Amino acid sequence: MTIPTAAKLTPIPAVNARVSYFGPDGLPTQEALTLFDRWRAYNLGGGRVIPCDATGTNLITLVPTDASPLLEGYRFGDAFLFWAENDSTGSVTAKVQPKSTSTYTLATLKVYITNGSAQAGAGDVVASSLYLAYYSPIQDSNAGGFVLK
């Protein structure tokens, strides 16, 4: 199955041998700084396991720890690691709350079990249990969702 374009990371730019990356003073040029910034963002952006604090019962709010990358949106390959605070009592959804310094808002998505074939419900999330919530762009008729492991 093809990963939707919106769920893919932007590729790292190629190095251009015709561009000077360091000036006569030995300091990086603007081109170098831009390239380094893109490399950093890309390396922080792919296939990440993001540790989170979790609150809530049927709507689980995931708050990445200080050691987490910048989240510009949900991306295929992202996995959010958390301990459940409570047992679920009904249909389960989750939302990732980016750092307070972020300008991005992420949607609340359904949470799925059994490899994504059914939405999690009462008793599917157990308090004090450790979970990985993988982002899947194809869940919920391509609206996206989380698959619990």
104 contact partners, CB below 8 Å, separation of at least 6: 71, 72, 73, 98
Per residue in 22-50, pLDDT (tens digit) is: 999 999 999 889 888 887 777 666 678 88
Q: In this structure, are strands 118-119 and 79-83 parallel, antiparallel, or unpaired?
A: unpaired
Of residues 21 and 140, which shows the higher confidence score?
140
Q: Where are the domains of the chain?
A: 49-148
pTM (2 decimals)?
Answer: 0.74
pLDDT digits (tens, 9 = 90+) for 55-107: 999 999 999 887 777 788 898 889 999 999 999 999 999 999 987 666 788 99
Angle in degrees, CA 35, 40, 43, rounded to 5: 125
pLDDT of res. 113 = 97
pLDDT band at 1 (very low <50, low <70, confident <90, very high): very low
